[in-house]
């Protein structure tokens, strides 16, 4: 599968895509879709996985801990980028990302047969986290290889269009995972799915793995790497050249801060945080939320190619920076509109009967603690806030005089919160009764004030939900569609796989992968369900400033000139 080459042995100038190039893009993209499918199954099933593998914790902590396990896969992605990027620059692109898909597929399949916490205790979450780490390592080596491979087959002036197909794979992988989950859930029923049917999507990955390996075995090495290898110019120390020399390291740092960090938070806000916000905060049932997200993904996915192709004409930088700017300006109003569309009863209750917690700040703990137990929250402030957090009730904090007990105010109604007394690792009988009575009274008052226990499907404005979710996906396509071509163009062939992979995976693995956990911890701590948006807004704002001032346009770069 070699691209049409010019007299220098590199892909020729712009022209219609050849059949061989179509095969290269299809083969690279399909394998990457399957790999993203494997990786995102966990995120899509985080709520169920929390119950299956972290049942030793209370419900709120279990979900946050499940998100941390989800994030663990992202935390190790830069290390995968270093390990597999080095191999890709030394031995070739093809065989390196053949190895990554084997690791990913097998790790995903094992999750499908892994015993739960109820069966093997603490070993279950430990093994689960190890498998997530292996998935993260594999994905860290996957993306840079696929993007580099396709870009090095693309003719000059078409790299944005060609690599944008790789950019669709993350969204298509998420879409495929949502469709398999939805189909399994519908076929088996909610009870069976929650009990054992959630394993089916993980087990299906073994079939996708077989197809992916067969496809990748049929691929040839990229022409740029073949040419470089034939001339004896491959790097003997790609890590040293990439990160040990300031002239390249400074570009790596700029690529991270001025491109991938902002791109990552926009990506994860528009696809994952939006899904979690619908199900966990707005209490939309999982099937409806998945369908809404899937429709938005279906509508928005072609725009990866549209913006990638447009970047060949007007540049990569203006499109990426515009996506970050729109995110900074519109996230708060869009998510508030999403609340009104998805759960109008909740929006109405918040407007007419706002909830406040008055308490001595010194008695209030951090509600986002992922390993805390119910008894660790024993002050009146902690008990009040914990109950509101667990019921996704947004509240405002009011500082009370030192030593004051916490008071919950719902509209004009006030309820005094009790403190708990722990004896033998549990609340004593009197504390347990007073806490139970407090929770019942608050729950009854919330219900009387119009706070719903879940979103009412009959009252949802589903058209508006799809419009808003599609808008969020369009921002994703703006920042993500052109970025693969831009990263490829920033680095020379001999160290391209290594150099572009690290900033991409630090940005997407750390800044992006930690977004759901960080955002929900901020919400849990502050009480305001929109405050989690400050995280992506600040990061996207930093990228907007740094990228605009210090990143140069790359669309006209000859990626072979430096070699």
Tens-digit pLDDT profile for residues 451-473: 998 999 999 999 999 999 999 99
What residue segments make up the domains of the chain, in order of their start? 19-343+457-550, 348-448
Check pLDDT > 70 for residue 223: no
CA pseudo-torsion sign 85, 91, 94, 96: negative
pLDDT tens digits, 149-165: 788 778 878 899 988 88
Q: Indicate whether 407 pLDDT > 90.
A: yes
SS3 at position 319: helix
Helix locations, 397-460, DSSP H: 429-448
pLDDT digit string, tens, across residues 189-205: 888 998 999 999 999 88
The whole-model pTM stands at 0.82
217, two tokens: 């075995």
Better-scored residue on pLDDT, 500 or 406:
406
Q: Are 42 and 73 in contact (CB under 8 A)?
A: yes
pLDDT of residue 533: 96
Q: Is the pLDDT of residue 146 over 80?
A: no
Q: How far is CA 495 from CA 9, 82, 87, in A?
A: 19, 11, 10
Q: How many angstroms separate the CA atoms of 111 and 109, rounded? A: 5
The tens digit of pLDDT for each residue in 238-288 reads: 777 778 888 889 999 999 999 999 999 999 999 889 988 999 889 999 889
The per-residue pLDDT for range 5-62, each reduced to its tens digit, is 454 454 555 556 566 667 767 777 776 787 678 767 877 787 788 888 877 666 666 7
Instruction: Name the average pLDDT for the chain.
Output: 84
Higher pLDDT, 490 or 216: 490
- Give the residue with greater pLDDT, 166 vs 32: 166
CB 228 within 8 A of CB 234: yes
Least confident of 198-207, 218-227, 276-285, 361-370: 218-227
pLDDT value for 7: 44
Residue 414's DSSP bridge partners are: 409
Torsion of CA 541, 303, 301, 28, to 10 degrees: -100
- Beta-strand relationship, 407-410 and 413-416: antiparallel
Could you tell me if 485 and 163 are in contact, meaning their C-beta atoms sit under 8 angstroms apart? Answer: yes
| Confidence at residue 13, expressed as pLDDT on a 0 to 100 scale | 52
pLDDT above 70 coverage of the chain, percent = 88
Give the pLDDT of residue 371: 55
- pLDDT value of position 346: 92
Look at residue 2 and tell me whether its pLDDT is greater than 60. Answer: no
Question: Looking at the DSSP assignment, which residues form a beta bridge with residue 357?
Answer: 397, 408
Q: Say yes or no: domain 19-343+457-550 is CATH 1.20.1250.20.
A: yes
Res. 168 pLDDT band, cuts 50 70 90 = confident
Cα(454)–Cα(530) distance, integer angstroms: 18
| pLDDT over 90 percentage in the chain | 38
Averaged pLDDT for residues 551-560: 84
Residues near 213 by beta carbon (within 8 Å), at least 6 away in sequence: 98, 101, 102, 105
CA distance 195 to 197: 6
Reply yes or no on whether the pLDDT at 398 is more than 70.
yes
Q: What is the pLDDT of residue 220?
A: 67
Q: What is the mean pLDDT of residues 125-146?
A: 82
19-343+457-550 and 348-448 have identical folds? no
Question: In CATH terms, is domain 348-448 a member of 3.40.1350?
Answer: no
Confidence at residue 562, expressed as pLDDT on a 0 to 100 scale: 47
Q: Residue 14 has what pLDDT? A: 52
Q: Give 242: exposed, middle or buried? Use CB within 10 Å, 0-12, 13-18, 19+.
A: buried
Mean pLDDT of 336-364: 93
Show Cβ contacts of residue 148 under 8 Å, excluding neighbours closer than 6 positions.
Answer: 88, 93, 222, 488, 496, 497, 500
- Listed in sequence order, the residues at least 6 apart from 181 whose beta carbon sits closer than 8 Å to its beta carbon are 41, 44, 45, 198, 201, 290
Residue 369's pLDDT band (boundaries 50, 70, 90)?
Answer: low
d(C-alpha 536, C-alpha 538), whole Å? 6
More confident residue, 286 or 341: 341
Range from 9-18, 32-41, 402-411, 415-424 carrying the lowest mean pLDDT: 9-18
The whole-angstrom separation of Cα 443 and Cα 352 is 17
Of 480, 498, 518, nearest to 75 by C-alpha is 518
Asked if 308 and 487 touch (Cβ cutoff 8 Å), the reply is no
Picking from 373, 317, 343, 355, the residue whose alpha carbon sits closest to that of residue 487 is 317
pLDDT value of position 93? 67
CA 164 to chain CA centroid, Å, is: 19
**At 75, is the pLDDT very low, low, confident or very high (cuts 50, 70, 90)?**
confident
């Amino acid at each position: 599968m070699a691209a049409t080459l010019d007299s220098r042995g590199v892909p020729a100038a712009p022209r219609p895509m050849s059949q061989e190039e179509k095969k290269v893009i299809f083969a690279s993209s399909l394998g990457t879709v399957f790999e993203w499918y494997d990786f995102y199954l966990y995120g899509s099933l985080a709520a169920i996985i929390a119950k299956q593998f972290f049942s030793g914790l209370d419900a709120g902590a279990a979900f946050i801990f499940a998100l941390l396990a989800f994030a663990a896969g992202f935390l190790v992605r830069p290390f995968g980028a270093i390990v597999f990027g080095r191999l890709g620059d030394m031995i070739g692109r093809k065989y390196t990302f053949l190895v990554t898909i084997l690791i990913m597929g097998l790790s995903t399949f094992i999750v499908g047969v892994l015993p739960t916490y109820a069966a093997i205790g603490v070993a279950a979450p430990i093994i689960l986290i190890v498998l997530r780490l292996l998935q993260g390592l594999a994905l860290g080596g996957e993306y840079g290889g696929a993007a580099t491979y396709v870009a090095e087959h693309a003719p000059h002036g078409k790299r944005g269009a060609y690599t944008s197909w790789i950019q669709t794979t993350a969204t298509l992988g998420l879409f495929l995972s949502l469709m398999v989950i939805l189909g399994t859930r519908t076929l088996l029923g909610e009870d069976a799915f929650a009990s054992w049917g959630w394993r089916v999507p993980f087990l299906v990955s073994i079939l996708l793995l077989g197809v992916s390996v067969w496809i990748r075995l049929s691929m040839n090495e990229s022409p740029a790497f073949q040419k470089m290898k034939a001339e004896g110019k491959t790097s003997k120390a790609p890590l040293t050249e990439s990160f040990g020399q300031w002239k390249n390291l400074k570009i790596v740092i700029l690529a991270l801060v001025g491109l991938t960090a902002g791109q990552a938070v926009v990506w994860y806000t528009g696809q994952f945080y939006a899904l979690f916000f619908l199900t966990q905060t707005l209490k939309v049932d999982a099937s409806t939320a998945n369908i809404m997200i899937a429709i938005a993904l279906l509508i928005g996915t072609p725009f990866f190619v549209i913006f990638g192709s447009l970047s060949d004409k007007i540049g990569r930088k203006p499109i990426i920076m515009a996506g970050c700017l729109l995110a900074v300006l519109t996230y708060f109003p869009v998510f508030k509109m999403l609340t009104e569309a998805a759960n109008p009863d909740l929006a109405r209750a918040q407007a007419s009967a706002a909830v406040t917690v008055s308490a001595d700040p010194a008695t209030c703990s951090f509600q986002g603690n992922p390993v805390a137990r119910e008894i660790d929250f024993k002050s009146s402030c902690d008990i009040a806030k914990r109950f509101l957090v667990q019921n996704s009730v947004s509240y405002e904090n009011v500082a009370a005089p030192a030593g004051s007990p916490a008071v919950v105010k719902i509209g004009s109604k006030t309820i005094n919160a009790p403190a708990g007394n722990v004896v033998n690792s549990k609340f004593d009988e009197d504390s347990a009764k007073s806490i139970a009575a407090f929770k019942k009274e608050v729950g009854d008052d919330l219900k009387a004030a119009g706070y719903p226990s879940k979103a009412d499907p009959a009252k949802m404005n589903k058209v508006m939900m799809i419009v808003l979710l599609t808008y969020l996906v369009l921002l994703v396509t703006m920042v993500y569609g052109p970025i693969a071509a831009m990263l490829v163009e920033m680095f020379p062939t001999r160290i391209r796989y290594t150099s572009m992979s690290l900033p991409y995976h630090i940005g997407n693995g750390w800044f992006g992968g930690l977004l759901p956990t960080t955002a929900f911890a901020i919400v849990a701590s502050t009480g305001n369900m929109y405050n989690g948006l400050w995280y992506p807004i600040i990061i996207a704002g930093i990228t907007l400033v740094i990228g605009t001032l210090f990143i140069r346009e790359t669309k006209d770069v000859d990626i072979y000139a430096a070699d």
